[in-house]
């Protein structure tokens, strides 16, 4: 088990290193560079830009800038925002809970509905329900998330008036119910695509378990189909889904970026787009590394959980 954990941890560190190098290089090689936003100020002279370039260390070779940034990152100094001078971690922290709330609620919805559809589709194979679930999954995977968001706003906000069209809460009313009222539409929209993915994987995993010999043995012993399903099938079918949950986190983060933009949700996705627009490179790099760490940790945790549950994984 120790060698398994060390191997996974080493792979995670290498992945984070690669992400940081590529991200830093791409951002700093974009035309205009980190000082592009300052160049839009009519009162900013060339001497001012040169002075800023020297103060920020941007006149040094790129690899030296990267090493300096990486060393400060390891010491906990993620830099300061170009917009207001606030520490990057503080800026991210102000938007973190909004994104985690949106991602967490959409993930719960996707797992609950996707598991039910997948199991029912496998047990009722080639039925009308199974065909409808397959068609629905294909439609959900084919249509962009922002389109679902716009349709949801038009139908449930503009036409019916049931749900708010955006924001995280109503100004002056910060009650839990108000937060939940605003959370319903963006979380459901974000969950739609992942319901389709989860249901397809769950259907395949359930069919694979149903065809195993121990299920046939359970039937031969006279166990009811309901007991076989609840006690033997679902538990074993969910095992590969733990790994899928870790793999789905990047796509959930990407979907959250689009969803937060459509619904003006004040999370990290919207912060990322705003920071790109302002050429706030310290915040952009901070968000990139924070997201990469979040994805790596979630995948590492999923691998550990699977290895603990199934010894065949860690012994292979």
* Domain that residue 188 falls in: 88-275
pLDDT band at 312 (very low <50, low <70, confident <90, very high): low
If we measure between CA atoms, which residue out of 282, 284, 297, 304 comes closest to residue 72? 282
Question: Would 76 be classed as within a structural domain?
Answer: no
Is 60 exceeded by the pLDDT of residue 314? Answer: no
**What's the confidence (pLDDT) of residue 113?**
92
Q: Encode pLDDT of 50-61 as tens digits.
A: 777 777 777 788
Mean pLDDT of all residues belonging to the chain? 82
**What's the confidence (pLDDT) of residue 117?**
92
Q: How far apart are CA 297 and CA 262, in angstroms?
A: 28
Instruction: Tokens for 64, please give them.
Output: 């030296």
**What's the confidence (pLDDT) of residue 80?**
85
Q: Encode pLDDT of 128-160 as tens digits.
A: 998 999 898 888 888 888 888 889 999 998 888
Question: Would 36 be classed as within a structural domain?
Answer: no
**What's the confidence (pLDDT) of residue 48?**
75
| Weakest mean pLDDT among 86-95, 100-109, 193-202, 209-218 | 209-218
Question: Would 178 be classed as within a structural domain?
Answer: yes
Query: What CATH number is associated with residue 223?
Result: 1.10.3720.10
Q: How far apart are CA 31 and CA 27, in angstroms?
A: 9
**Alpha-carbon distances, residue 3 vs 6, 50, 275 (angstroms):** 5, 51, 40
**What's the confidence (pLDDT) of residue 190?**
87
Instruction: Tokens for 63, please give them.
Output: 């690899």
Question: Would 17 be classed as within a structural domain?
Answer: no
Percent of the chain with pLDDT over 70: 91
Instruction: Tokens for 22, please give them.
Output: 């590529």
Chain centroid offset of residue 285 CA = 17
Instruction: Tokens for 237, please give them.
Output: 């079918």
> Under a CB-based contact definition with an 8 Å cutoff, are residues 296 and 308 in contact?
no
Q: How far apart are CA 78 and CA 87, in angstroms?
A: 7
Instruction: Tokens for 277, please give them.
Output: 């627009």
Average pLDDT (166-180) is 81
How many other C-beta atoms can be found within 10 angstroms of the C-beta atom of residue 60? 14
Residue with more model confidence, 167 or 129 = 129
Instruction: Tokens for 260, please give them.
Output: 């937060």
Average pLDDT (251-270) is 82
The domain tally of the chain equals: 1
Q: How far apart are CA 314 and CA 267, in angstroms?
A: 37
Question: Would 240 be classed as within a structural domain?
Answer: yes
If we measure between CA atoms, which residue out of 226, 199, 232 comes closest to residue 129? 199
Q: Encode pLDDT of 6-27 as tens digits.
A: 777 788 888 889 989 998 888 8
**pTM as predicted:** 0.79
> Under a CB-based contact definition with an 8 Å cutoff, are residues 266 and 95 in contact?
yes
Question: Would 29 be classed as within a structural domain?
Answer: no
Question: Would 246 be classed as within a structural domain?
Answer: yes
Mean pLDDT is highest, among 53-62, 112-121, 242-251, 273-282, for: 112-121
Question: Would 51 be classed as within a structural domain?
Answer: no
Instruction: Tokens for 91, please give them.
Output: 């800026």
Q: What DSSP line would sit under 112-126, residue for residue?
A: HHHHHHHHHHHHTTT
Percent of the chain with pLDDT over 90: 5
**What's the confidence (pLDDT) of residue 40?**
64
pLDDT band at 216 (very low <50, low <70, confident <90, very high): confident
Is 60 exceeded by the pLDDT of residue 66? Answer: yes
């Amino acid at each position: 088990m120790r060698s398994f954990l060390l191997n996974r941890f080493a792979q995670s560190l290498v992945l984070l290193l690669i992400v940081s190098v590529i991200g830093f290089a791409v951002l700093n090689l974009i035309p205009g560079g980190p000082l592009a936003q300052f160049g839009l100020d009519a009162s900013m002279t060339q001497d001012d830009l040169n002075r800023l370039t020297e103060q920020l260390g941007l006149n040094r070779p790129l690899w030296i800038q990267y090493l300096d940034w990486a060393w400060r990152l390891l010491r906990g100094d993620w830099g300061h925002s170009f917009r207001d001078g606030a520490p990057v971690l503080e800026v991210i922290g102000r938007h973190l809970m909004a994104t985690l709330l949106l991602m967490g609620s959409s993930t719960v919805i996707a797992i609950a509905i996707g598991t039910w559809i997948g199991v029912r589709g496998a047990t009722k194979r080639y039925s009308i329900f199974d065909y409808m679930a397959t068609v629905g999954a294909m439609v959900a995977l084919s249509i962009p998330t922002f389109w679902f968001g716009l349709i949801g706003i038009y139908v449930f906000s503009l036409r019916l008036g049931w749900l708010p069209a955006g924001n995280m809460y109503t100004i002056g009313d910060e009650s839990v119910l108000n937060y939940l009222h605003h959370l319903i539409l963006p979380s459901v929209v974000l969950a739609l695509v992942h319901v389709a993915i989860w249901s397809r994987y769950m259907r395949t995993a359930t069919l694979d378990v149903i065809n195993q010999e121990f299920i046939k043995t359970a039937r031969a012993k006279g166990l009811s189909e309901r007991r076989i399903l609840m006690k033997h099938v679902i538990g074993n079918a969910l095992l590969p889904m733990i790994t899928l949950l870790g793999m789905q986190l990047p796509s959930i983060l990407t979907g959250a970026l689009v969803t937060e933009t459509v619904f003006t949700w004040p999370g990290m996705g919207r912060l990322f787009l705003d920071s790109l627009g302002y050429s706030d490179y310290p915040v952009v790099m901070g968000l990139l590394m924070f997201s990469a760490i979040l994805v790596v940790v979630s995948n590492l945790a999923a691998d550990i959980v699977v290895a603990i549950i199934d010894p065949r994984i860690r012994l292979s």
